[in-house]
């Protein structure tokens, strides 16, 4: 299932990138562009190769000297993991969320902690090596972008020499060195990484960095590298016989256990027969809150929880643990678990500067696009869920639901890589909006990243804050299900919407747009000069005539009469929310009431119960929800609703 070394075009992007920049883009070179030129000349590395590798690592951003998820610094993502991975608490070992989320079984609340590595692998120690090669101090390599670029050039040149290849001026001669720069120890991952870099070289790029500098890479559409070099690199071959991945990524099989471990209990997932038995409707994006090796140790523990795939930050490598046909325990809502595939990404929700690499974003997007096509899953935010948008299954679970990947996951860029860029789908009379702030310049204040109440580092964000009136002097929107005073806390989702989510418009007042949200009218700033949403149209639900309000559910379970005698009926339990008459909420699709009964190790007792009651999935608040089709009517979103000003 991996890309062939000779299939250089196999790693093409899912969508065409921006057109190549002219060589004299916007006049004089920036300081960073000059740094690439100087380092290329000093270490005899083609400048385009240096630019292409850096783009795949960081999109040329320096992140103010802050480390990435895996301790990578600067435009070249030079790694020193000792500075980044201390004190991490695994994603599913913190808080009160029951990852399984099935009321028919005892709550599963693992407390495992990943083992501390005795020694970090070479891919997480490239900065010390760059310091040796350049004579520059580690501190300077971390904080000085020009020095960081020089360190990356030195590493590429060293890799080229180690392969016995000349320091050629032809980018085509550097394929194996680029592959080795990834730090991967297997052929498939190194190949996928190099293919991505050379795709960037062929298509070209131009962007303004987070430091305000324009960097450009001219396209070389006819560039064909010499991939045969990699055969001499001595890399291992992955076990891909069991994997379910597209050929454009590297993917290995590291299975999660389906085992009994005493007292009739078992782990750490359930065998099933999807999609024959029930559809796969969702893909859930998580972050690990821990490092690669420790996370892999935990997913192989039968007493822990599970997910289908883990993605590595440094190079985008993927490990698959659970087959798509089987049900993993990851989302905290059994209905969603039974109908979803879970992806864990190396990352930290509350570390805004612990940035995600471009390599991981691209690998994830390719995997999600492949899975969406395989299982006919719509590429929208009501089906490509963050863990933070999965609803609590019952009223008592709402407070404990997880909030990853959080406000620093770049949903706008991610959907561009998915081939579904977030664009206007209607004019001003569409009656809906799609949230779409500019990630880099959208910088709402958050607190609690380091300690409670302390302001988080200023950073770009996918999220937009909501107020109870048209201005920041009004109180934040309150989530009655949480029962707490809303705050700007990084884990407080009560008054927050996220890029790609869609809502029915409820009003307009100058630069402020109102939407229907959690049964309330919620306002966000949306100016013509700096729009945070674009116009949209679609279907919405509203309570049927004569009904004062309708309940909202966190799962779409069948009616009691649908259950056979050998399956205990599950309660159709409403959340502490309602939709009042006159309010409208965007429809994600219609689904039948469905419950997967799997509470024993013996598969013979497993059942899929499907009822006659139908539900609509809706974007209700930050999280999705469900309403019974019998309670609502479906309407077009416009025309006639109040709408925001047209974004420029």
Distance in angstroms (rounded) separating the CA atoms of residues 550 and 581: 8
Nearest Cα to Cα of residue 344 among 319, 372, 309, 370: 309
Residue 366 within a domain: yes
Q: Cβ distance 311 to 346 under 8 Å?
A: yes
Please indicate, yes or no, whether residues 75 and 187 belong to a single structural domain of this protein: yes
Same domain, 538 and 564: yes
Length of the chain: 648
pLDDT tens digits for range 484-502: 999 999 999 999 999 999 9
Q: What is the pLDDT of residues 299-312, one digit of tens each?
A: 999 999 999 999 99
User: Is the pLDDT assigned to residue 645 strictly greater than 70?
Assistant: no
26, 127, 135, 157, 274 from 131: Cα distances, Å: 34, 6, 5, 14, 51
The pLDDT value recorded for residue 95 is 75
Which contiguous run of DSSP H or E holds residue 142? helix 138-143
Q: Given pLDDT bands bounded at 50, 70 and 90, which one contains residue 74? A: very high
CATH assignment of the domain containing 249: 3.40.80.10
Same-domain pairing of 251 and 192: no
Give the mean model confidence (pLDDT) for residues 325-341. Answer: 98
pLDDT band at 118 (very low <50, low <70, confident <90, very high): low
pLDDT tens across 149-184, in order? 999 999 999 999 999 999 999 999 999 999 999 999
Determine, yes or no, domain membership for 468.
no
> How far is the C-alpha of 336 from the C-alpha of 341, rounded, in Å?
9
Q: What is the pLDDT of residue 134?
A: 98
Partners of residue 508 on adjacent β-strands: 513
Residue 627's DSSP bridge partners are: 616
Position 637 pLDDT exceeds 90: yes
Q: CA-CA distances (angstroms) from residue 382 to 131, 137, 419, 479, 587?
A: 46, 47, 16, 20, 9
Residue with tokens 């004569």: 546
Query: Token pair of 5, please?
Result: 């070394």
Q: Is the peptide bond before 427 cis (omega within 30 degrees of 0)?
A: no
Note the helical H segments in 464-560: none
Q: Is 242 within the bounds of a domain?
A: yes
Q: Which helix (H) or strand (E) covers residue 604, if one does?
A: none
- 586 and 563 together in one domain: yes
What is the pLDDT at residue 7? Answer: 35
Mean pLDDT of 476-485: 97
Which stretches does DSSP call E strand in 412-501? 432-435, 463-465, 496-498
212 lies in the same domain as 334: no
Closest by CA position to 618, among listed 524, 517, 506, 469:
517
Burial class, 223, CB count within 10 angstroms (exposed 0-12 / middle 13-18 / buried 19+): middle
Radius of gyration of the chain (CA): 25
- Which residues, 6 or more positions from 609, have their beta carbon under 8 angstroms from its beta carbon? 558, 562, 563, 564, 567, 594, 595, 596, 597
Q: Are residues 198 and 253 in the same domain?
A: no
pLDDT over 70, % of the chain: 92
Mean pLDDT to the nearest integer, 512-520: 98
H or E stretch including 311? strand 309-311
In a domain, 110, yes or no: no
Alpha-carbon 18 to chain mean position: 22
Cα–Cα distance list, 580 to 44, 397, 508, 537, 556 (Å): 68, 23, 20, 21, 20
Per-residue pLDDT at 23: 37
Q: What is the pLDDT of residues 531-567, one digit of tens each?
A: 999 999 999 999 999 999 999 999 999 999 999 999 9
Q: Are residues 301 and 389 in the same domain?
A: yes
Residue 213 clears pLDDT 50, i.e. is over it: yes
- Please give the average per-residue pLDDT across 19-31, as a whole number: 45
How wide is the angle at C-alpha 464 spanned by C-alphas 211 and 482, nearest 5°? Answer: 130
Q: Distance between CA 382 and CA 378 in Å, rounded?
A: 8
pLDDT in tens, 595-604: 999 999 999 9
CA atoms of 323 and 517, how far apart (whole Å): 36
The total of structural domains in the chain comes to 3
Task: Specify the pTM.
Answer: 0.92
Q: Are 591 and 340 in contact (CB under 8 A)?
A: no
pLDDT value of residue 115 = 65
Task: Flag whether 97 is in a domain.
Answer: no
Point out the domain boundary residue: 217, 232, 247: 232
CA pseudo-torsion sign 410, 412, 413, 415: positive
Better pLDDT: 21 or 231: 231
- Are 364 and 316 in contact by the 8 Å Cβ rule? The answer is yes
Is a pLDDT exceeding 70 seen at residue 21? Answer: no
pLDDT at 263: 83
Q: What is the mean pLDDT of residues 616-638?
A: 97
Q: Are residues 141 and 278 in the same domain?
A: no
Domain boundary among 391, 421, 451: 421
- My answer on whether 253 and 402 are in the same domain is yes
Section 188-205 average pLDDT: 96
The whole-angstrom separation of Cα 208 and Cα 177 is 27
> What pLDDT, on a 0 to 100 scale, did the predictor assign at position 85?
57
Q: Residue 499: how many CB atoms within 10 A of its CB? A: 27
DSSP letters, 553-584, are: ESS-PPPGGGS-TTSPPPP-PEEEEEEETT--
Tokens of 206: 């131009």
Tokens found for residue 77: 């993502």
pLDDT at position 140 over 80:
yes
Which residues make Cβ contacts (< 8 Å) with residue 200, sequence separation at least 6? Answer: 17, 52, 55, 56, 217
Q: In what order do the strands lie in the sheet with 340-345?
A: 251-253, 318-320, 309-311, 340-345, 282-287, 384-386
Orientation of helix 31-43 relative to helix 145-162, angle to 10°: 30
Helices (H) and strands (E) in the chain, counts: 11, 28
CB contact at 8 A, 96 and 109: yes
Show which of 364, 389, 421 is a domain's final residue. Answer: 421
List the structure tokens of 504: 């029915």
In a domain, 634, yes or no: yes
pLDDT, residue 106, reads 87
Residues 228 and 328 in one domain: no
Q: What is the pLDDT of residue 264?
A: 83
Whether residue 443 is found in the same domain as residue 412? no
Looking at residue 560, its pLDDT comes to: 97
Look at residue 471 and tell me if it is in a domain.
no
Could you report the per-residue pLDDT of 425-457, keeping only the tens digit for each?
999 999 999 999 999 999 999 999 988 999 999
How many CB atoms within 10 Å of residue 455? 12
- 3-state SS class at 5: coil
Average model confidence (pLDDT) across the chain: 91
**Is pLDDT above 80 for 588?**
yes
pLDDT of residue 543: 98
Q: What is the DSSP letter of 138?
A: H
Q: The domain containing residue 515 runs over which residues?
A: 433-462+490-648
Question: Do 448 and 413 share a domain, yes or no?
Answer: no
4, pLDDT greater than 50: no
pLDDT at 91: 81
Q: Which of 5-9, 208-212, 467-471 has the lowest mean pLDDT?
A: 5-9
- Quote the CA–CA distance of 647 and 260 in Å, as a whole number: 57
DSSP state of 250: -
Mean of pLDDT values over 609-613: 97
Residue 299 lies in a domain: yes
- Of 7-16, 471-480, 529-538, 622-631, which range is least confident? 7-16
Q: CA 340, CA 280: separation in Å to the nearest integer?
A: 5
């Amino acid at each position: 299932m991996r890309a062939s070394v000779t299939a250089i075009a196999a790693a093409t992007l899912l969508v065409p990138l921006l057109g190549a920049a002219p060589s004299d883009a916007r006049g004089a070179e920036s300081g960073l562009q000059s740094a690439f030129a100087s380092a290329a000349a000093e270490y005899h590395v083609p400048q385009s190769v240096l630019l292409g590798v850096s783009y795949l690592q960081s999109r040329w951003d320096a992140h103010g000297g802050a480390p990435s998820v895996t301790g990578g610094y600067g435009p070249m993502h030079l790694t020193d993991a000792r500075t980044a991975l201390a004190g991490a608490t695994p994603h599913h070992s913190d808080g009160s969320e029951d990852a399984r989320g099935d009321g028919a079984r005892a709550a599963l609340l693992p407390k495992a902690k990943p083992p501390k590595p005795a020694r970090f692998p070479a891919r997480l120690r490239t900065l010390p090596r760059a310091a040796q090669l350049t004579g520059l101090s580690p501190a300077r390599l971390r904080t000085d972008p020009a020095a960081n670029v020089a360190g990356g050039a030195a590493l590429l040149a060293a890799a080229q020499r180690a392969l016995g290849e000349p320091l050629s001026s032809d980018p085509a001669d550097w394929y194996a060195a680029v592959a080795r720069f990834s730090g991967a120890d297997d052929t498939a991952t190194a190949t996928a990484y190099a293919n991505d870099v050379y795709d960037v070289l062929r298509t070209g790029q131009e962007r303004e960095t987070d430091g305000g500098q324009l960097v450009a890479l001219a396209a070389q559409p006819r560039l064909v590298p010499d991939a045969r070099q990699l055969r001499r690199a001595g890399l291992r071959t992955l076990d891909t016989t069991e994997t379910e991945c597209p050929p454009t990524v590297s993917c290995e099989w590291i299975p999660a256990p389906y085992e009994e471990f005493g007292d009739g209990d078992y782990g750490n997932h359930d065998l099933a027969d999807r999609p024959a038995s029930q559809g796969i409707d969702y893909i859930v994006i998580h972050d690990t809150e821990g490092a690669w090796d420790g996370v892999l140790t935990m997913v192989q523990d039968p007493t822990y929880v599970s997910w289908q795939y883990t993605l590595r930050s440094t190079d985008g490598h993927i490990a698959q643990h659970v087959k798509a046909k089987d049900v993993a325990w990851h989302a905290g809502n059994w209905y969603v678990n039974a109908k979803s595939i879970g992806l864990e990404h190396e990352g930290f929700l509350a570390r805004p500067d612990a940035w995600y690499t471009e390599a991981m974003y691209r690998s994830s997007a390719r995997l999600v696009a492949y899975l969406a096509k395989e299982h006919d899953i719509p590429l929208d935010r009501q089906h490509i869920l963050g863990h933070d948008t999965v609803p609590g299954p019952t009223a008592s679970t709402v407070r404990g639901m997880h909030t990853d990947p959080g406000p620093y996951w770049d949903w706008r860029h991610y959907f561009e890589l998915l081939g579904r860029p977030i664009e206007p789908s209607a004019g001003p009379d569409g009656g809906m909006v799609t949230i779409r702030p500019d990630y880099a310049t959208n910088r709402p204040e958050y607190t609690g990243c380091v300690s409670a109440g302390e302001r988080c580092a200023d950073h770009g964000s996918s999220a937009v804050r909501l107020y109870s009136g048209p201005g920041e002097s009004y109180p934040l929107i309150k989530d009655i299900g949480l029962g707490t005073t809303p705050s700007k806390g990084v884990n407080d989702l009560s008054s927050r919407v996220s890029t790609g989510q869609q809502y029915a418009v409820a009003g307009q007042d100058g630069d402020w747009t109102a939407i229907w949200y959690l049964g309330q009218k919620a306002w966000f700033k949306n100016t013509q000069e700096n729009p945070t949403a674009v116009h949209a149209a679609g279907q919405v639900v509203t309570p049927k005539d004569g009904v004062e309000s309708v309940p909202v559910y966190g799962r779409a379970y069948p009616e009691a009469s649908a259950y056979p005698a050998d399956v205990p009926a599950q309660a159709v339990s409403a959340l502490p929310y309602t939709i009042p008459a006159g309010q409208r909420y965007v429809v994600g699709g219609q689904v039948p009431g469905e419950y997967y009964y799997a509470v024993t190790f013996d598969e013979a007792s497993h059942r899929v119960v499907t009822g006659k009651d139908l539900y609509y999935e809706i974007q209700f608040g930050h999280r999705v929800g469900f309403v019974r089709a019998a309670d609502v009517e479906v309407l077009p979103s416009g025309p006639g609703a109040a709408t925001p000003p047209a974004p420029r």
